[in-house]
Structure 1
Amino acid sequence: MFSLTAPIFLTLLLLSISAFLLTQWWGKNQSQLKNRNFLLLLRLASLVCLSLALAGVHRKAQSNQLTFAFLIDISKSIPKTQQRFAIDQVNTIIKSLEPKDQYCVISFAKQPSVSVPLVTVQNNPYVSPKSIWENAIVQNGTDLASAVQLAISVLPEATQKRVVLFSDGLQNTGRIDNMLELAQASEIMVLTIPILAKRENEIIVQELQIPPKIRKGRIFKVRAMI
């Protein structure tokens, strides 16, 4: 895969080639053109190489090394048993990785925090629950977007990047859709593993059915599907 840091120089390349050909061909007879063909090709090749260098053409090397960012929701709505389930799943994934693969763990609620900095599997093959639960962050709230944004900033460029999100998915702040688009643009694969939230005296309403026409002051029936 190739990319450009200054694409404008490719446009200048096309204009330069056109101008160069006009100056070389205009006013020359056939015999003179034949004698200068080789020199013309050398000049064109030099011009192309110079323009491509200025445009910053470079090849992105594809690495086989994996780098994971594990995002664990530790907000108050997630019981400890489900948080422990997420940590166990993280350790299961780590065991399947190569020794030189890398990972980090980000715990989040109202705000995210790096619980385990970026390390190689061979240097830290296990994530302890203590490293997650001792992270002093505000747990009254859930901001998925900030957690994903932090993961994007932590993951290195030269590896195959993965984000694994453990959450009930019920955010009450932030815009996760914007961060997912940014992750896709950064060539980061985002995987989600749902965990169950603790709900006391709460129900989830799936659908509300009301009459299509309602008059002011009239009593009407509403059906709720839970």
Structure 2
Amino acid sequence: MAWSTRELAELAGTTVQAVRHYHRAGVLDEPEREPNGYKQYRTSHLVRLVQVVRLRALGVSVRAIRAAAHPEEELHAVHDELSTTIERLQRARAELAVILQHRVPPDTPSVFGAVSGDLGPRGRALLTVMSRVWEDEPLGDLGALAAKPQEYEADFEMLPEDADEARIEALALRVAMAVREDQARFPWLRDPGAVSPRGKRTADAVVAQAFAENYHPAQIRVLARANELAQAETE
């Protein structure tokens, strides 16, 4: 018994348009025709069409089906691609969960989701920049530090741009104490640029630029002096 194009498509679970497309693409042989011009498909056509439909459903492209001498090779490639896609989607889903749970702005890295609500635009901006400089464990450490209240924060935020050197020095001493505690907890903070996958020079330059654009000169002097004091203590 032979089948028409419509009958073949129905048996294979596809459409007449798809059958014609597979003919044009060279993955399904043309059948013989009756004297009246109608196509007559045989069992071999049905078997091949079912195979093509199945491979397409599994994500194998028509071009790959046409080129593959052994379809299982393409299936391995599709499997690897799907594994990568699934991992990416799982990460995206986890980040979306954090964004929705903590109402985090979409541009804020999910690792900072639990603390982002307590930060102002400047704090979120700095953490976003840092997320492009460090990865994985360092980012987790920065998230822990962001969640930790600092006793000097209010005075640092209220520091006037024309603060005198005595006030800057006094505040730097307080900041340095916290810096030393943080460095004892997370030793990589003694030279943070050294653990950046972008390299120390780039990391230091990016962070310095971000701080320069988000703090006024008096605050920058406090941070620089606090770092000097903290480093001197460890030497």
Q: What is the TM-score of this pair, normalised by structure 2? A: 0.29
Question: Taking structure 1 as the reference length, what is the TM-score of the superposition?
Answer: 0.30
Relative contact order, CA 8 A, sep 6+: which one is greater?
Answer: 1
Larger radius of gyration, structure 1 or 2?
Answer: 2
- Specify which structure has the higher proportion of strand: 1
Q: Which has the higher helix share?
A: 2
